[in-house]
Chain A
Amino acid sequence: MSNENSVIYGLEFQARALAPQLAETEKIRFIIGTQSLKQANNQIHLVEFNEEISTLKTTVFHHSDGEIWRITTSPLDPLKLATCYNFVTGENNCQFKTALLKLPQTENPENIENLEILTKFDISPYGNEVRTTEFHPNDICKVASVLDTNIVLWDVSESHAKSIKNFKLEGKNNPKFTIGKWNPHQNCNQFTATTETHLKTYDIRSGDLAWQIDGAHNQLIRDLDYNMNKQYHLATCGDDGFVKIWDFRQTQGPVFTMNEHSHWVWSVRFNHYHDQLFLTASSDGQVLLSSAASVSSENNPDIKGDSLDDARKSESKQLLADGPLQWCEHEDSVYSAEWSPSDPWVFASLSYDGRLLVSRVKKSLKYQIML
């Protein structure tokens, strides 16, 4: 990777939590949380990428409550974020917790401080391990947490979260949820969670199962992501090394599959603007920028106009071929890769050895998509 394409930021500690600052539309900002069993050492880094001069500016905050397993940010308030962390209690015990945090409005470079805790959650009735806490895409007062066997919907308007609803997963062998996400379409009334190899989507109004895809992967599903520009489309990835894109109206098979990674795929993300691009991060140490143009919103024959226009279009703009387009190599497993919400051509990937790579989409690719 040449300098032109990526900037490296090294952390002192191992890390697996990376999130883009979703509500920030001006600056390219990512938030990293470290994962170290030494309580006091854990930090949250706010990394801002200055695209013009290709430099990174970071602000560090303490996170003394424990190692961070996951960070999510509010899509509405740039200052809000949620962490799932592991709090060590006493000798040989630790406890998973989640909290809503607030970044300070003003920057204070001299002091490294802890972040203000906005809302605390009492998860003990629902399970031990919090997998993620997801902000509702529209409603600032709602978040959903994925715990062992529960999805809990919280009202977070006050400092202690009140649970509104919870959906319990039932089945043999005590199945657990792995991860979950809001469906950004359909008024955000659906929440999708994964358990083992299955996808389950609940309607949060009725609490019923809206739809499900069983056996979407051969092994555990690690992550999923909705296509912002195309309803009904979501991507999944998992331990079998596959990335699959589904149209959940037809659950018998994926509309797209890719098997380029040689180990588990931990994260999949559609580009918010050009949804033919998606990022995958894998424990084989690679981040792949790939194209699924054949099933993207760009390849939509309904939108196209009359045949003359059509011909002109196909002449001037050819769809990208499906498959990988760009590689980023890390030294260790990569557990997350995220697009910048403010610049569609910038993405960041974080490997377990604490190295953040902020990369740009190759110029040639960019032009190919834009022109």
Chain B
Amino acid sequence: MTEKNTNPLDINGPNFSPNMYLDKIFKECTLRQVMDHESEIVKDTQTLHSDMQTLVYENYNKFISATDTIRKMKNDFKKMEDEMDLLMSNMESITSFSDKINLNLQETRNKISHLSGVHSLLQRLQFLFKLPATLKSRMEEKNYIQATQDYLHAQRVLEQYGDMPAFQGIKSDCEEILTELKMELRKQFCNHTASTQALTESVDLLLQLEEPPKELCMEFLTSADKRLGEQLVLLKDESEQRHVAEFIDLGCTGFLNDLCIIVTSFHDMFINRVNVENLENSEIFENFAAVELESFVNENMNSYFILVKNKVDFEQDTVDTSTLVQALDKFYIQINSNKFSKHVNFSEKALEVIGNAGKKQCNAHLQVLKLTFSDTLTKIKQVLSTPKLISQDDSSKNLSELLNSMIVTVIEKTKGVLQDLVAFTSPSIAFAKKPQFQQTFSIEYVREGLIVNFLHHITDTIKNVCSEGILDTKIPPTLILILSKFCLELKNSSVHYLLSKTEELFNINIKRSNNVTVEIKICNSMQETAQFLLNHYVRLQGHNCSQMLRKSVETRDWLHTIEPRTVRAVMKRVVEDISVIEATVALLYEDQGTTTGNSSDSSRKTHSYSVSKAQYKSNWSSYTPNHLDSTLVSNMHKLFSERIDIFSPVEFSKVSILTGIIKISLKTFMECVRLKTFSKYGLQQIQVDTHYLQLYLWRFVADENLVHFLLDEILGSTVHRCLEPVLMEPSVVDIICERG
């Protein structure tokens, strides 16, 4: 642009240099061209000139009109200025006037304002003076709210001017009335009939009267405490007379309702509203109040729980389970539906109480069961000790009947107890739905505490009947036998039945819970007990027979005895006793069929025995006694490579039991014989006796060779202890035995 502008050749530019332009024209253009150019320029110049002329003309007109206008304005302004000046002077005069007026009125105004001040003061004073009277009348009207408001109005004044003698009277009066008022209000705390609404009101007022909230809240709680205490005492008094269900009802309507109201009103009064004045304090106070309330509720609930617990404990024996459960249920529902405290879950505590009641109930039932069991035991003992029962025909039925009735009694009683306890877990009962209660109650209390314990008790009691190690002859052996069978029966079916029944009734899943006594364990201990008793029985009976045999051998003078003509009475007695035992055992233990094979050919038995005897005879006549004995013994040992265990474990069968008894008896016989010295006839008597035993005992045992062997040993020992070992003719022995 600048270039353009500075271009001196631009005819329209400001830096146009005519000379240069001319020079250029002259240099570049032909004449003609210059001529044309000149004419062109002239023409242009003329046009421009005329244009300028029109412009100037036009603008000149405008200028003239403008000048006219300005002149006119100048005149107008001048006028305005004058008027303004006038206004100013007027204003000044107004101001001075108003000042003057003001000055004049000042005094009066001050006076008026003073007077009005005095008036209000006087009014207030009058209020103050009247205050005691007003308060009093309010008090009389029991319009405590108004009274409080009145006082609050005057309070500050009284505080400020309370020192002045004029007000002192009023103040003291007021204070007096106020204390009275407070007293009155507080009295409502203690008033039993006062509604909670009224109570709340009083507390409200007291709070307004700036009573310390802590104190108030304490006082409130104390009075509430007192009232609840009275309720509790009432309950306690009632508890002795009332039925448990009524008692619970009473507790619900009385105590619990009151507690509820107290708790809610406390919340309303202290916790939810003390906030206005200073926040931090109120927070502290709220905490304090909450804690106080907490402890208050706890205390009262605890004493209530204790009361309920005692009542339930007390009633446990007299009231049937369903009533108890119903009452407990009501109790639980009531507790559960109310939320007394944020921190303590009272329904848990209630559950605890109920759990305890359940436990107690189980224990009570356990005691009942134990009692029944011991009753049954005594009954059986009595039945057994009446002597006619043993060995009579009709008694035979009785024994198994006795056993059956015993089992049935125990089972039925247990079943009854279970049925009774089911009430605790019936689905209509609220607390039964709580899994923790259901679990503990069914498993811990009922299954373990009641059933398992009872079964253990049975085994323990039975074991104690023949207390360890003492072969008490006073206990009828049959009792031991029957108890052994009883245990066995329990183990075989009843234990399972009872446990599964329990599980079914109480909906127990054993697999899920850990510390549960397994059925097998109980069965094992039953089996053990049964075995123990059976061993005991065998021992006892064995010893009874042994005793007879021992006495018979010991008391006789075997050196100076006459030739045997009969079997000794003791042998018959032993055989008889064993038959009786067999008969008794047969009632409880069916024959296993092992001996049936033998029974058919008793003749063979005797025959073979005689044969062996004959062999002995031939041997004994030719060998010296000890030689014979050693060969005999070795022969026997070859034959019976197994040792004879005198007290081998007894099986639960008739044969095994009798075998045990016979083994013990015969072993004793042998030992006794070994302690004696025999003459010829003494030996022969033993020969007769053993033959007799052989004839009658083989049928009782499983392995007749056993009897055979033992009797041979007895005879062998006798031969050895004989001064003149000469045996009797077997035929004669046979005759004597058949005769005798």
Contacts and interface: CB of A to CB of B under 8 A. Distances in A.
Contacts of B629: 14
Contacts of A264: 668, 671
B543 interface: yes
Contacts, number: 77
Interface string A13-42: 110000000000000000000001110000
A322 interface: no
B677 A94 contact: yes
Contact of A14 (B546, B626, B645, B646): B626
B671 A283 contact: yes
Contact of A331 (B637, B647, B680, B720): B637
Contacts of A88: 723
A219 B643 CA distance: 25
B413 interface: no
A294 to B, nearest CB: 16
A333 interface: yes
A259 B469 contact: yes
B647 A263 contact: yes
Given A240-B471, A283-B667, A92 B626 contact: no
A262 B677 CA distance: 26
B646 A92 contact: no
Interface in A78-107: 86, 88, 91-94
Interface in B5-23: none
A12 B674 contact: no
Given A14-B626, A37-B722, A284 B469 contact: no
A67 B361 CA distance: 73
A92 B723 contact: yes
B70 interface: no
B724 A92 contact: yes
A300 interface: no
Interface in B609-648: 624-626, 629-630, 633, 637, 643, 645-648
Contact of B469 (A36, A257, A332, A333): A257
Contacts of B546: 219, 239
Contacts of A93: 559
A86 B674 CA distance: 13
B671 A37 contact: no
A36 B671 contact: no
Given A242-B469, A263-B646, A219 B547 contact: yes
B721 interface: yes
Given A12-B626, A14-B720, A37-B677, A218 B671 contact: no
A352 B721 CA distance: 12
A242 B469 CA distance: 8
Interface range for B: 35 or more
A65 interface: no
A220 B546 CA distance: 12
Nearest to A332: B633
Nearest to A220: B550
B188 interface: no
B720 to A, nearest CB: 7
B560 interface: yes
A343 interface: no
A180 interface: no
B66 interface: no
A263 B629 CA distance: 23
B540 to A, nearest CB: 10
Nearest to A36: B626
B546 to A, nearest CB: 8
Nearest to B679: A92
Interface in B541-592: 543, 546-547, 550, 559-560
B52 interface: no
A263 to B, nearest CB: 5
A13 B630 CA distance: 9
A285 interface: yes
B56 interface: no
Contacts of B643: 285, 329
B559 A218 contact: no
A262 B649 CA distance: 10
Contacts of A220: 550
B559 A263 contact: no
B559 A284 contact: no
A353 interface: yes
Contacts of B88: none
Contacts of A14: 626, 629, 720
Contacts of A285: 643
Given A37-B677, A283-B667, A262 B626 contact: no
Interface string B712-735: 000000001111100000000000
A333 B667 CA distance: 10
A66 to B, nearest CB: 10
B166 interface: no
Contact of B721 (A37, A218, A239, A262): A37
Given A92-B723, A263-B667, A219 B543 contact: yes
A244 to B, nearest CB: 9
A220 B646 CA distance: 18
Nearest to B630: A353
Interface string A263-275: 1100000000000
B470 interface: yes
B723 A284 contact: no
Interface string B642-669: 0101111000000000000000100110
A242 B543 CA distance: 13
Nearest to A352: B674
Contacts of A36: 626
Nearest to B643: A285
A352 B673 CA distance: 13
A284 B671 CA distance: 10
Contact of B559 (A92, A329, A352): A92
Contacts of B633: 331-332, 353
Nearest to A285: B643
A284 B677 contact: no
A284 B543 CA distance: 15
Nearest to A266: B671
A262 B470 contact: no
B646 A94 contact: no
B660 to A, nearest CB: 10
Nearest to B624: A38
Contacts of B671: 263-264, 283, 333
Interface string B671-710: 1001001011000000000000000000000000000000
Contact of A284 (B473, B625, B645, B674): B645
Nearest to A240: B471
A284 B646 contact: yes
A285 B642 CA distance: 13
Contacts of A242: 469
Contacts of B679: 92
Contacts of A332: 633
Interface string B447-474: 0000000000000000000001111110
9 contacts: A12-B626, A91-B724, A92-B679, A94-B677, A219-B547, A240-B543, A262-B645, A284-B646, A353-B633
Interface of A: 12-14, 36-38, 86, 88, 91-94, 218-220, 239-242, 257, 259, 262-264, 283-285, 329, 331-333, 352-353
Q: Which 5 A-B pairs have the closest CB atoms?
A: A262-B647, A218-B471, A262-B646, A92-B679, A263-B646
Given A262-B646, A262-B647, 12 more contacts: A92-B559, A93-B559, A94-B677, A220-B550, A239-B543, A263-B646, A263-B647, A264-B668, A284-B645, A285-B643, A331-B633, A333-B674
